[in-house]
């Protein structure tokens, strides 16, 4: 089947403009969808929608299911009558260019707590009926999540996580949990209210995008945070000791970017236990994510073939080893339960023939990153003449420098090859790479918003290995000029990626098992 050529923009909602310290699901999100339409784009790629964790990372979330409460649009809560104008007055506005997570979290959570209390006062309203229906339908993850966040917020935990809670709470003694739920019912209600608000607002925004022919490309991290509701509620699925502490942790081996590799610290799955449970947790997780997105990027795909296991007491990833992952069995189970899904394999890193074989067996498109292409090797996997249609090309990803930043830091040897390969001067390198991506045979072509705006390295989203300072970038509408969308639309149309229709088609790459 011929695959539709599409293109889009990578921008996480936290990076949107907005008055309350971080981007959210409010007016600017809808305006961004409209801007994508003007630019003839049909994909909006985001990062994981989950709550952020250590280092403000959405890849270290306290839940694999719960939406990021900082994305809740407070102005919609004002319209519902759960907040007052004074509580959202201009005196509470924040910096437009960075997300100050501690300050933003304090402000937004205080307003969400106010709204939740007022919402609780009218339990006979249609809205409350919808809330109760949501709580019932999502109880499989929501109950544990709300209790976990309540325990964490009330000080039962420490910076080291739930393993240091009082033993009966850490080990989930039924009587202790029941008593806590009774005493802290208002706090549990708060977290459930926040998740309902997030879900209602996100589904409304997604419907708006879909009506305009724009597909949402989401993201599923392969691993979860140790300090998460998932590990606390299902410790048997992970390689932990009897106290809930990891025996081994995730990472990647040493490479040209790091002599010591990367020690991520996430707990690793006990894949035998996951399989014995018929992959139920993964199936539920994927089903939940597919309700929120139209296409899902599967993070660290190579880890499903084999993953790098690092002893928990090792300070670096050097002493790790490769261990077999679940392979096709996991994806067979997902397809058997959910049917065909639109997935993208994030196949970056140490990629072997076995990883490629698994991806191809599952009929999943892989990723190509143009910033990795120009090393004077014509066989380079990331050069456009080596692409195949079942691929997704990026100028750069959220883990890369911006294209302008990459160009400024590149060696003259690398820049020389890029100039000759692309037949350009390099003075407009960000648009040169966008054009190259759009012109390629890859089914999907995606550029970060920073590249469309021509921003330098000060505006990158994430710098792997740096514990602080990432995930904070935001843009303002003052930075976006009319010609940005017009130029993007011209090239998108020129290379056959623009679509006049306003309905979503189904001839996109799908999981095949």
Determine whether 299 is an active site residue: yes
CB 395 within 8 Å of CB 434: yes
- Planar angle of CA 471, 472, 478, nearest 5 degrees: 130
Nearest to 436 by CA among 344, 392, 484, 370: 370
Pick the catalytic residue: 299, 305, 347, 451? 299
Q: What's the sign of the alpha-carbon dihedral 131, 132, 138, 143?
A: positive
Beta bridge partners of 250: 309
Per DSSP, the three-state class of 307 is strand
Give the CA distances from residue 311 to residues 62, 248, 270, in Å, rounded to whole numbers and listed in that order.
22, 4, 14
Pick the catalytic residue: 87, 399, 414, 463? 399
Copy the structure tokens of residue 356: 């490629």
Pick the catalytic residue: 51, 219, 305, 346? 346
Nearest to 216 by CA among 297, 280, 314, 286: 297
CB 209 within 8 Å of CB 84: no
Nearest to 119 by CA among 104, 106, 132, 105: 132
Contact partners, residue 177, CB within 8 Å, separation at least 6: 147, 169
Per DSSP, the three-state class of 45 is strand
Contact partners, residue 214, CB within 8 Å, separation at least 6: 8, 33, 36, 37, 41, 42, 43, 44
Q: CA 53 to CA 79: how far, in whole Å? A: 30
CB 461 within 8 Å of CB 12: yes
Nearest to 354 by CA among 296, 299, 297, 301: 301
Determine whether 399 is an active site residue: yes
Determine whether 96 is an active site residue: no
Q: CA 512 to CA 342: how far, in whole Å? A: 10
Catalytic sites, residue numbers = 299, 346, 399
């Amino acid at each position: 089947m011929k695959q539709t050529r599409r293109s889009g923009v990578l921008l996480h909602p936290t990076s949107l403009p907005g008055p309350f310290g971080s981007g959210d699901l409010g007016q600017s999100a809808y305006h961004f969808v409209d801007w994508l339409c003007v630019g003839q784009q049909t994909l909006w790629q985001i990062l994981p929608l989950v709550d952020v964790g250590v280092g403000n990372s959405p890849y270290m979330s306290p839940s694999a299911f719960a939406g990021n409460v900082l994305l809740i649009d407070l102005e919609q809560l004002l319209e519902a009558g759960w907040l007052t104008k004074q509580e959202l007055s201009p005196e509470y506005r924040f910096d437009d260019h960075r997300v100050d997570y501690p300050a933003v979290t304090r402000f937004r959570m205080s307003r969400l707590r106010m709204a939740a209390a007022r919402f609780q006062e009218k339990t006979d309203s249609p809205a409350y009926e919808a809330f109760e229906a949501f709580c019932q339908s999502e109880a499989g993850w929501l109950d544990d999540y709300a209790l976990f966040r309540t325990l964490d917020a009330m000080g039962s935990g420490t910076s080291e996580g739930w393993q240091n809670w009082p033993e009966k709470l850490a080990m989930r003694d039924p009587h202790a949990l029941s008593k806590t739920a009774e005493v802290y019912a208002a706090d549990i209600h708060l977290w459930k209210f926040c998740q309902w608000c997030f879900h209602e607002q996100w589904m409304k925004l997604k419907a708006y995008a879909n009506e305009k022919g724009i597909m949402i490309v989401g993201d599923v991290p392969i691993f979860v945070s140790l300090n998460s509701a998932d590990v606390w509620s299902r410790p048997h699925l992970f390689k932990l000791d009897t106290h809930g502490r990891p025996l081994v942790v995730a990472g990647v081996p040493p490479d040209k970017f790091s002599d010591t590799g990367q020690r991520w610290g996430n707990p690793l799955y006990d894949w035998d236990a996951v399989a014995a449970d018929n992959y139920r947790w993964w199936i539920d997780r994927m089903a939940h994510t597919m309700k929120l997105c139209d296409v899902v990027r599967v993070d660290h795909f190579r880890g499903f073939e084999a993953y790098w296991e690092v002893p928990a007491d090792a300070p670096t990833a050097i002493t790790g080893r490769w261990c077999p992952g679940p392979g096709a069995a996991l994806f067979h189970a997902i397809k058997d339960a959910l049917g065909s899904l639109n997935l993208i394999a994030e196949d970056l890193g140490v990629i072997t023939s076995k990883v490629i074989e698994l991806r191809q067996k599952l009929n999943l498109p892989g990723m190509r990153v143009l910033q990795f292409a120009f090393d004077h090797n014509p066989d380079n996997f990331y050069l456009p003449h080596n692409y195949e249609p079942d691929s997704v090309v990026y100028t750069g990803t959220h883990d890369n420098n911006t294209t302008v930043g990459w160009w400024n830091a590149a060696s003259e040897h690398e820049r020389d090859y890029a100039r000759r390969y692309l037949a350009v001067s390099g003075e407009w390198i960000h648009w040169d790479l966008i054009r190259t991506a759009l012109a390629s045979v890859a089914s999907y072509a995606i550029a970060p918003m920073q590249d469309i705006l021509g921003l330098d390295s000060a505006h990158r989203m994430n710098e792997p290995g740096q514990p602080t300072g990432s995930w904070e970038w935001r843009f303002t509408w003052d930075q976006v000029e009319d010609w940005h969308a017009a130029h993007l639309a011209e090239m998108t149309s020129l290379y056959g990626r623009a679509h006049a229709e306003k309905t979503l088609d189904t001839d996109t790459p799908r999981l095949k098992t």
